[in-house]
A and B are shown apart, each in its own frame.
Chain A
Amino acid sequence: MPACSPTRNPFTAQETPAVGVAIEGLSKSFGPRLVLDNITLSVEPGEIFVLMGPSGSGKSVLLRHIVGLEAPSAGRVTINRQDATAETTREHVRMAIVFQAGALFNSLSVYDNLALYLREHRVTNEAGIREKVMRALQILSLEGAAEKFPSELSGGMKKRVAIARALVMEPQLMLYDEPTSELDPVMSATISEIIASLKNEYHVTTVVVSHDRDLALNIAERVGILMDGRLIFLGTPDQLRQPEDPQVANFLYPKIDLKNPRYKQLET
């Protein structure tokens, strides 16, 4: 793994080392079902890595392994050479995940959702917390939503609040699970721009799990494609524009054939 480039803290402009992720021979089974099959890849410090694949291909499970929420059946995941499942890793490496549905705390206002991490870890006093929270809300254009509750927010706002909540943690590693799903094209583009801007401005190592071809082609530095738990493609967005592998081509550029639809092909 190359030497770590620094991550710039969005609030203090101080620099902390960016982190790299290494996945070696990772397999995961749930009962008899093999969800991930011998995955090996690495995410370099400060890189945007986009992981694509059809629904049920194991992308989110892989993401949960990186953040230590799942234990591998075989193989290992390390973050800066520390085991991702070890509780001490979360103490040494600040990582944040933006869940698909936001996973905002429904009983807390937007402000308190963002302040929770800072309060629990006693990062600073209430005035300092206010400053950091308002700065994060400003970065995500959410100043007017501070006192709202998650149930009062639109889908796009929830995603942005989830990103803002991750941002106040000043993460060295940001993970996004389907950040543009269920959003209209403009909002999807906005979220993609936010992800790229955060990475460019603060050099955060970023892993994005997504179906979104436009997001992958526009913001990724490298892309991986998972299919049935196996990594079938690992390369740059340029390589993806004209894929050689028919499976990859069919996934990224599926043709809509009204005369011979897929469901009928499956029946025969």
Chain B
Amino acid sequence: MKQLLSIFESFGSTLELLVRAGSYVGTLPRQRARFIEQCYLIGYTTLPIVAILSFFIGSVLALQAGYSMQNFGAKQFIGSLVGLSMARELGPVMVAILLAGRVGSAITAELASMKVYQEVDALVTMNIPPARMLVLPRLAAALAMVPVLAIIADLVGWFGGAIVAKYVAFISIEPESYFAVLRRYMVFKDVLNGLIKAESFGFVVVLVCCNIGLNTRGGPREIGAAVTRAVVVSLILILVLDYFITKALM
């Protein structure tokens, strides 16, 4: 019962934070520098790991598909399988998971440490709302950067699949036919659905991580616990939301 109450409390405080941050959206133009800094942290610094993982996920997908599909002569469809899987599911989910692990944890650690060491209290007494200065630029940067990361994840994943398809002996499909099949069985809506999912996951991850950070009380030990909780809650939410958004977009 106590845990259930705590879940409802967290949900309530997250919504309250969202409303508060949203009420300051008009201040975003004069927070340009903070927005750009967060875009750099969320987008640019996450890009290399997104690219590496996408490349190998696309490659492994092509390898597994090629191995399984060669037995019933369907390996020419690898392009569509890799393309659809990356765009509709693996790209957005992988970007969101990386965001939770890399950016979300850093956000929680930073905000929790600011809370524990009274920097957040100092902001409040200066009449500078933390939702405006600490949360809004991060949410806006997530909205701007996550779709870009998802598109790059899709493209790199497709490219990884194409390389495996060409150079692995038992597959041996030329990139031209790989991408021709990919184009034939994919529509723009597949990519768009993936981007909607990525955008939703990214926004929720950043919001939840900000809220957990700002609600941290205690000392250094609680900062570590807050980071762990933020990552775990984010991962659960990504997978739960994934089901419902996928269902809604079908």
Contacts and interface: CB of A to CB of B under 8 A. Distances in A.
Nearest to B27: A120
Contacts of B124: 68-69, 90
11 contacts: A64-B121, A68-B125, A69-B121, A90-B124, A91-B127, A95-B125, A97-B121, A103-B122, A105-B122, A116-B128, A169-B126
B121 A120 contact: no
Interface of B: 114, 117-119, 121-122, 124-128, 133
Chain B CB count within 10 A is highest, among A68, A91, A96, A103, for A103
A106 interface: yes
Contacts of A97: 121-122, 125
A36 to B, nearest CB: 18
Nearest to A69: B121
Given A97-B122, A120-B133, A103 B117 contact: yes
Chain A CB count within 10 A is highest, among B125, B127, B133, for B125
Interface string A95-111: 11101010111100000
Interface of A is mostly: loop
B125 A90 contact: yes
Contacts of B127: 90-91, 121
Contact of B122 (A68, A91, A99, A120): A99
A97 B133 CA distance: 19
Nearest to A64: B121
A121 B132 CA distance: 12
A136 interface: no
A149 interface: no
Contact of A103 (B118, B128, B133): B118
A108 to B, nearest CB: 10
A251 interface: no
B126 A99 contact: no
Contacts of A116: 126, 128
A169 B117 CA distance: 21
A67 interface: yes
Contact of B125 (A67, A91, A104, A105): A67
Nearest to B124: A69
B187 to A, nearest CB: 45
Interface in A114-147: 116-117, 120-121
Contacts of A105: 114, 119, 122
Given A97-B125, A105-B114, 6 more contacts: A69-B124, A69-B125, A90-B124, A97-B121, A97-B122, A117-B126
B88 to A, nearest CB: 39
B128 A120 contact: yes
A121 B127 CA distance: 9
Contacts of B118: 99, 101, 103
B128 A117 contact: yes
A121 B125 CA distance: 13
A104 B114 CA distance: 9
Contacts of A96: 125-126
Interface string A62-96: 00100111000000000000000000001100011
B172 to A, nearest CB: 53
A95 B133 CA distance: 19
A120 B127 CA distance: 9
B119 A103 contact: yes
Contacts of A169: 126
Contacts of B114: 105
Contacts of B128: 116-117, 120-121
Contacts of B125: 67-69, 90, 95-97
A106 B109 CA distance: 14
A90 B133 CA distance: 17
B136 to A, nearest CB: 13
B119 A120 contact: no
Contacts of A90: 124-125, 127
Chain B CB count within 10 A is highest, among A96, A106, A120, for A120
A61 B139 CA distance: 33
A226 to B, nearest CB: 20
A123 to B, nearest CB: 12
